[in-house]
């Protein structure tokens, strides 16, 4: 229940059909509110650092990569947590994401780093599934993802996602075209049927 003077939160504007559910938005809002220790409606690097320490997650300078130096409201927090890569993203943007995964600042992403990220985001993958993913993406066989592995993975994933979105759009357009043709044939058939009965 909301405290006096506090507005109730409406998650529906943040939902994306087929991608982000009401429950996921509410989970992000609860996480934001827990990080927002002073109840200001804004979070800063200091509050996020406190939450990371409480969860046992070594983030150190990665906080600045995630938040920068400004305070952010839930809208901006939500955008950053749900942002997708696009063709306009630059190598620096991708490396910023790499640094978030490389929370021990070793220059590579290890199995332990991936488990940390999985714990933070509440991923349901098992340790074996995480290891299998790491093994699949690791191009040089050293058991860790270097920046080139990570970049290749994200760019390939973005390409696959864009191709799938394009395929879905074309399929929907084809289906709509067939329906319009069917409706046009149906109306011309009904006109013929009514004119033939006179």
- Radius of gyration in angstroms for the set of CA atoms belonging to the chain, rounded to a whole number: 24
> Per-residue DSSP letters for 128-182?
HHHHHHHHHH-SSSSSSB-HHHHHHHHHHHHHHHHHHHHHHHHHHHHHHHHHHHH
CATH code: domain of residue 120: 1.10.238.10
| Percent of the chain whose predicted confidence (pLDDT) is above 90 | 5
Angstrom distance (rounded) from CA 168 to CA 29: 31
pLDDT greater at residue 100 or residue 196: 100
Shared domain for 135 and 80, answered yes or no, is no
* Domain count along the chain: 2
Shared domain for 115 and 71, answered yes or no, is no
Which of 84, 110, 141 marks a domain boundary? 84
Res. 65: pLDDT tops 70: no
pLDDT greater at residue 151 or residue 3: 151
Shared domain for 16 and 71, answered yes or no, is yes
- Whether residue 111 is contained in a domain is answered as yes
pLDDT band for position 81 (cuts 50, 70, 90): confident
Host domain of residue 166: 88-177
pLDDT at 4: 40
> Which pTM was predicted?
0.45
pLDDT greater at residue 177 or residue 193: 177
Which of 25, 51, 84 marks a domain boundary? 84
Mean pLDDT of 93-105: 79
Shared domain for 119 and 168, answered yes or no, is yes
Angstrom distance (rounded) from CA 157 to CA 163: 10
- Whether residue 190 is contained in a domain is answered as no
pLDDT band for position 86 (cuts 50, 70, 90): low
CB-based contacts of 125: which residues, under 8 Å, 6+ apart? Answer: 118, 133
- Whether residue 3 is contained in a domain is answered as no
């Amino acid at each position: 229940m909301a405290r006096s003077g506090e507005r109730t939160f409406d998650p529906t504007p943040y939902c994306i059909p087929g991608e982000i559910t009401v429950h996921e938005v509410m989970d992000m809002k609860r996480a934001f509110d827990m990080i927002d220790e002073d109840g200001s409606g804004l979070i800063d690097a200091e509050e996020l650092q406190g939450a990371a320490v409480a969860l046992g997650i070594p983030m150190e300078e990665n906080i600045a990569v995630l938040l920068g130096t400004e305070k952010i409201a839930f809208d901006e927090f939500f955008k950053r947590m749900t942002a997708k890569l696009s063709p306009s993203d630059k190598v620096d943007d991708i490396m910023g994401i790499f640094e978030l995964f490389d929370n021990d600042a070793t220059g590579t992403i290890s199995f332990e780093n991936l488990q940390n990220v999985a714990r933070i985001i509440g991923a349901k993958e098992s340790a074996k599934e995480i290891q299998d993913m790491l093994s699949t993406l690791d191009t040089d066989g050293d058991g860790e993802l270097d920046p080139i592995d990570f970049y290749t993975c994200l760019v390939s994933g973005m390409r696959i996602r864009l191709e799938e979105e394009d395929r879905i759009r074309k399929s929907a357009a084809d289906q709509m075209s067939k329906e319009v043709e069917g409706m046009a044939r149906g109306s011309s058939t009904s006109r013929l049927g009514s004119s033939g009965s006179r």
